[in-house]
Chain A
Amino acid sequence: MEPTVPSESDLATVADLARSIRTELARVLSGLDRAVDAVLATVLAEGHVLLEDVPGVGKTTLARALGRACDVSVGRIQFTPDLLPSDVTGVSVLRGTDRAFEFRPGPVFANIVIADEINRASPKTQAALLESMQEHAVTVDGQTRPLPRPFLVVATQNPVDMEGTYPLPEAQRDRFMTRITVGYPSGDDEMEMLRTHDRVDPLDSVAVVADAGALAHAIEVVRSVYTSEPARRYVVDLVRATRESPELRLGASPRASLQLLALAKARAAMSGRDHVLPDDVKALAPAALAHRVILTAQARSAARTAEAVVTDLTASVPVPTAGRPVPAPR
């Protein structure tokens, strides 16, 4: 059976789109290419992103710049401890004119939802958002309302200053396709930032480069990217390795396999390639897997991080070859 692969023009469109968005984001945040690429891949795989880092590195700016570069509806929710689920999903109000209930959609009814400091809200509110993320629909007053497509949530959270927060449990974190740490910019990049951000809000300079239709089309193209048997096997090998690693108490789920492959497809399409390479998988494995695994106590006391463990696994799991296993080095 001849595999269906995206046409070259489709791939070029996706690659162009990715390049334009990347360029726009770079206006705001220079030197964060890895994070930007991971975010873009997650967007094209129609997944949800969890940006996690210390305050002030540009999590929210990145999320907002993304929303601005795409000409789509953007909802923004600033999570606070007193935020209610209906503040997220929307609420039915009684209309004065005909005394009928009218549904007022919450900020979740948008193509891109920016959920700031998600760990500050109560678990109940968090659950409301996470359920809509999973189901792509909101149920209010017994009525299920679909969310617009594409639908993606960019959530941010702060790993320090944990007092008064409700950290996401592992099961909830699994809903996010990627967890991305933004990281500090390099010295040069920070210098550049000081220069460009001096007078104007950099977000104003972000141009719109994509609309909802283009984004949806790109997401369709990404879905049709070809995955060879060895590439799929590599995903499975890698995910299984997290379950067998002595440093991990909990390994990644089968959902992680699915999402890692989807991410790899997105990265392949972003490079204008019609097939997935293990390199795609390797590049995105820390972002896709690290937030789903739990370190053992020993690993934690040895100051290991989940990212480091996953990165080490990508360097040690053999890359499957066509036909037969690679002979062991002599």
Chain B
Amino acid sequence: MSRASLGGAAARTWATPAVAITVALSLAGVAALLEPGGWYRTPATILGATALVVVIARLATRRAFVPTAIGGLVGAWLVLLAYVPAPDGGRSWWPSPGALRSARDMAVDAVGYVYDTVAPAPVTVPLEALLATAALALFLAADALAVGAGLAATSGILLLAPWIPPLALGADVPVGALVGCLALWLATVALTRRSTGTRWRSRAADAPATGGVVLGAASLAVLLAVAIAPLAPGVPGWGDLPRATLPSAWGGGQRLDLEIDLRDSLTARSDEPFLVYTSASGRVPVLRAFSRADFDGNGWRVETPTETEQPSGPLWPLPYAGWVGDQTRSFTVRVGDVRNAFVPIPDAPRSVSAAAGWTYAPSSDELRVGEGDLVAFAQYSVKYATGFHTEEALRAAEAAIAAGGDAEVEARYVAVPDALDQDGVRALAEEVTAGAADRYEMARQLQDYLSGDTFAYRTDVDYDGDDMVSAFLEDRAGYCIHFATTMVMMARTLDIPARFAVGFLGGTDTGGSEFVVTGGDAHAWPEIYFPGHGWVRFEPTPPIQTGAPPEYAAPEAGPEAVPDVRDTIRPTAAPSTATTSPSATATAVTDPVAEDEQPWAFAIAVGALVLTALALAVAAARLAARRRVLDPERAWQSALRAVDGGATARAQTPAEARETPTLAQDEWTDDEREAWRRLAAAVEDHRYAPGGSTATPEELGMWVAAIRRAGRRTPRRGSR
């Protein structure tokens, strides 16, 4: 009995669980892009159940791909059962039209959510269902390739797919899981290895299905890659990628990601116009995008506003009496091809000509476009109050503070993370604010301390550890996010409600009252709460980068000056005139190409496609090569084709072909003639001898290779 048939079947039974565990570990890789939680339990359970079904099916049938089909059906049903609600709200026990509609809506939801959020994203039910489906598809494809088609090594390319986005983006992937994946993949290769010393049995029965299954597996992999890729733009470190070099002619648009790991250096950002506004009354100090409340020591947690309202009338978190005479200004905005959902607005009470579906969240003071929509190409006009924030108004809030006015805001605005060296930071904050009479003065002193000579503005920082703030206070170098975060934390240790706001500086004047705001104008600042007044911006980042602080925060400085150099996002801080010209903006704004695509999602999808095509090509080539080489019959046909293009008569026996000079063998070497003779003898034995051929696949491969060499070298004689 052959060695292969002893170990083979039993060992291959274990290959399917190995593939399933590999895929389950890959979920840990994807988890690097998501918020921690117990979301993986249901997908892992579905994966395990499906793997069990596939194993049982493999034991029951010798067909290569029937178990995959059965596993696919069972897995799809489990996903339906676990995630898709029936129209009446209960569970979907069978794929009714209503359930399928729900499933479609969930898929749309999940994809929209992936586009809309930045990592680490909280896992919603649709996203979890999407992940479960993707994991299932990946498992079935990899298992079909590794166990069904016997191409375990090639299946590694598929199993690598979920690791590509986190690895490419430098997310903190669990190294143990990655190593485990690689080890299990090697185990799969070992478990499915065929003994090459045994006589090859024809795989003719499997062959017709193989091509289709490989194609199907590849398609699944592409779908998977496309499903996962959109997660990528929100990943920390995304800004490291050379987005600015992507030509806008690609029509990809840009997405500004303001979530930066504070330990990382600030690197070049886009010079593409983000928006253009026309303001007859000059520059707008800042355009606010959104704010964050929860800090973990190194980064601000992404949150989605829950309570929203229609954006009508003056937008301000606190009741606003109304416009005061001529203390308002107006401007109109044209947004470029931008993939964000927030609408930039000034940081004072304002009213916006909102489009349908836009929502305003008072708690975080954010204006967003409708669910699943993008701000790209939006046009709106804004009226905002000037002179709303004044020293007098802020000092007047002291009475409300004394009356416990801070209770109006949530406790999280004074929370500090456990990772923070609270005592140290508080001691410093108290030292800095010693002698301050009221909250306004405290905020001023914190701002002046940070923006003074003590701290250096540097974009190349490399902080380790969990406590960025202490590291920053130690090293005294950083960029706007470090300054802003540190001021928020220092204020919070003094029990002053504070939060972190993100938006843009006023942009570059291009003449004609038109201002261009690029991705490079992105900026972050702290906001301090004054009861009865609202959240007020301070500017702790050195003025050399951001220009002077607001007038109310630096009365002696006069009106807010235009910064010489921007806080940028580009260390060189030299605005590029080429990309900020109005004409470029106009082009970008009127370019309707590919509105719904993420440039990098697209690039990753293309990459995955190329990778899959590669896997497909390798798999096809290996399958073909195995068929050609391992079976004496196929080896013989291949040799005949190589020598005379298949012109040798089908009525010729191998012995006749071996002996007859129909083939131009005069110029063959002795080795080549010997290979020809031995291959003919092998196929003769294979076909007619009681014991079959004893030639090993390696020998057959060698002989075919020799004959091919000879066939290429010598001209073909005409047929017979």
Contact = CB atoms under 8 A, between A and B. Distances in A.
A315 B645 CA distance: 19
A314 interface: yes
B626 to A, nearest CB: 15
A97 B102 CA distance: 115
Contact of A330 (B633, B646, B648): B646
A226 B690 contact: yes
B653 A330 contact: no
The DSSP consensus for interface residues of chain A is loop
Interface stretch (A13-21, A66-74, A144-152, A269-277): A269-277
Nearest to B207: A324
Given A228-B688, A275-B688, A321 B651 contact: no
Contacts of A279: 653, 655-656
A323 B655 CA distance: 19
B204 interface: yes
B689 A228 contact: yes
A3 B687 contact: no
Contacts of A275: 688-690
User: What's the interface size class on A, roughly?
Assistant: 20 to 34
Contacts of A330: 641, 645-646
A329 B640 CA distance: 10
B637 A277 contact: no
Contacts of B656: 279
A229 to B, nearest CB: 9
A319 B690 contact: no
B686 interface: yes
B651 A318 contact: yes
Contact of B655 (A226, A277, A318, A324): A277
Contacts of B646: 327, 329-330
A327 B204 CA distance: 13
B669 interface: no
Contacts of A322: 202, 633, 686-687
A301 interface: no
B650 A274 contact: no
A9 interface: no
Contacts, number: 69
Contacts of A317: 651
Nearest to B647: A329
Contact of B687 (A228, A282, A318, A327): A228
Contacts of B245: none
A171 interface: no
A277 B204 contact: no
A3 B690 contact: yes
Interface in B595-642: 631, 633, 637, 641
Interface in B193-226: 202, 204
B633 A277 contact: no
Contact of A318 (B650, B689, B719): B650
B684 interface: yes
A317 B689 CA distance: 21
Contact of A278 (B631, B641, B653, B686): B653
A277 B637 CA distance: 18
A257 to B, nearest CB: 17
A318 B653 CA distance: 9
Contacts of A319: 650-653
Q: How large is the interface on B (under 10, 10 to 19, 20 to 34, 35 or more residues)?
A: 20 to 34
Contact of B688 (A2, A230, A316): A230
B658 to A, nearest CB: 10
A133 interface: no
Contacts of A324: 202, 204, 633
Interface string B440-455: 0000000000000000
Contacts of B649: 315-316
Interface in B392-423: none
Interface string A293-330: 00000000000000000000011111111111011111
A233 to B, nearest CB: 10
A319 B204 CA distance: 19
A321 B690 contact: no
A134 to B, nearest CB: 31
Nearest to B688: A228
Contacts of B653: 277-279, 282, 319
A277 B684 contact: yes
A5 B690 contact: yes
Nearest to B720: A315
Nearest to A282: B653
A156 to B, nearest CB: 32
Nearest to A226: B690
B647 A321 contact: no
A228 B641 CA distance: 25
A221 to B, nearest CB: 15
Interface in A202-238: 226, 228, 230-231
A275 B691 CA distance: 10
A187 to B, nearest CB: 26
Contacts of A230: 687-688
B651 A316 contact: yes
A269 to B, nearest CB: 14
A281 to B, nearest CB: 9
B87 to A, nearest CB: 52
B457 to A, nearest CB: 72
B686 to A, nearest CB: 6
Nearest to A326: B650
A327 B655 contact: no
B636 to A, nearest CB: 8
A30 B649 CA distance: 34
B70 to A, nearest CB: 28
Nearest to A278: B653
A13 to B, nearest CB: 19
B655 A328 contact: no
Interface in B653-695: 653, 655-656, 684, 686-690
Of residues B641, B656, B687, which shows the largest number of chain A Cβ atoms within 10 Å of its Cβ? B687
Nearest to A320: B687
A321 B690 CA distance: 14
B653 to A, nearest CB: 5
A48 B689 CA distance: 28
Given A277-B684, A327-B637, A330-B646, A314 B690 contact: no
A224 to B, nearest CB: 11
A330 to B, nearest CB: 6
A277 to B, nearest CB: 5
Contact of A328 (B650, B652, B684, B689): B650
Contacts of A5: 690
Contacts of A276: 688
A317 B650 CA distance: 8
A19 to B, nearest CB: 20
Contact of B633 (A274, A278, A321, A329): A321
B651 A314 contact: yes
A231 B688 contact: yes
Contacts of B633: 321-324
Nearest to B652: A319
A230 B637 CA distance: 16
A328 B645 CA distance: 11
A317 B647 CA distance: 15
Nearest to A273: B689
Contacts of B647: 329
B690 A274 contact: yes
Nearest to A231: B688
Given A322-B202, A322-B633, A323-B202, A277 B688 contact: yes
A330 B647 CA distance: 8
Given A275-B689, A315-B651, A322-B633, 6 more contacts: A226-B689, A274-B690, A277-B688, A320-B687, A323-B633, A327-B637
Nearest first, the 9 closest Cβ-Cβ pairs linking A and B are: A329-B646, A318-B650, A226-B690, A323-B202, A228-B688, A322-B687, A278-B653, A3-B690, A279-B655
9 contacts: A228-B688, A231-B687, A277-B653, A316-B649, A323-B204, A324-B204, A329-B648, A329-B650, A330-B645
Interface of A: 2-3, 5, 226, 228, 230-231, 274-279, 282, 314-324, 326-330
